[in-house]
Amino acid sequence: MAFTEFKHPLILDKLTRMRRIETSSKDFRENLNEIASLMVYEVFRDVPVAPIKIKTPVTDTIGYTIESPVVLVPILRAGLGMVDGIQSIIPTARIAHVGLYRDEVTKQPVQYFAKKTSDIEQSFILVVDPMLATGGSAIKAIDIVKEWGAKTIKFICLVACPEGVDALSKAHPDVDIFAASLDEKLDADSYIVPGLGDAGDRIFGTK
């Protein structure tokens, strides 16, 4: 397992805009998608490419294509906020969905929806959720995509905390984790500190 925190100036600037309490839902969504695009560029750095014969208007040559189909798995609902940004870079990516809610008694994530794509075994899977807090939802979502047969899985979030990174890397040591920021800690209500509040509410303008 590897954990990567992005320290790029563009990402730091956009994330700071998102953290501000006064930032509108529209600006929050735009910056989230822009950061997701910038992150996915780096996540794909070591993805295998296959040579293919092509014709240019001038000659025959060898080009390169990403070997595996790409599947995004947003964890509903906040994960949806990263999909457009990633699809703007990988328009052929298909979208599977995992919906989870938190059981009030057990505090554990419970699946209420799951829809996979075909060819999941051969695909390069990106599970996305803006916040890696306790790690419970990420672990459960990755359990589900592994049950579908997924082999190559990366997890991309916006803000992580040490507790979430620790839990996820223990549960799924084969899954690389990418975050725009590793924040300080979780508070007593399981919010990330300093964080940015409830990502789902800020994306969808709820609450």
Q: List the one residue from 32, 131, 165, 179 that touches ligand URA (CB under 6 A).
A: 131
Q: Does 198 bind ligand URA (CB under 6 A)?
A: yes
Q: What single letter denotes the amino acid at residue 199? A: A
Question: Hey, which residues between 44 and 83 contact ligand URA (CB under 6 A)?
Answer: 78
Handedness of CA 107, 143, 179, 28 (dihedral sign): negative
Q: Tell me how far, at minimum, the Cβ of 72 lies from ligand URA, in Å.
A: 19
CB crowding 154-165: b at 16 or more within 10 Å, else e? bbbbbbbbebbb
Task: Single out the segment in contact with ligand URA by CB under 6 A; choices: 30-38, 102-110, 144-152, 192-200.
Answer: 192-200
106 annotated to bind ligand: no
Task: Single out the segment in contact with ligand URA by CB under 6 A; choices: 13-21, 59-67, 146-154, 195-203.
Answer: 195-203
Q: Would you say 71 or 78 has its CB closer to ligand URA?
A: 78
199 annotated to bind ligand: yes
Q: Would you say 71 or 138 has its CB closer to ligand URA?
A: 138
Q: In the beta sheet, which residues pair with residue 156?
A: 128, 178
Q: List the one residue from 127, 133, 156, 165 that touches ligand URA (CB under 6 A).
A: 133
- Token pair for 133: 């807090």
20 annotated to bind ligand: no
Binding site for 5-phospho-alpha-D-ribose 1-diphosphate: what residues are annotated? 77, 102, 129-137, 198
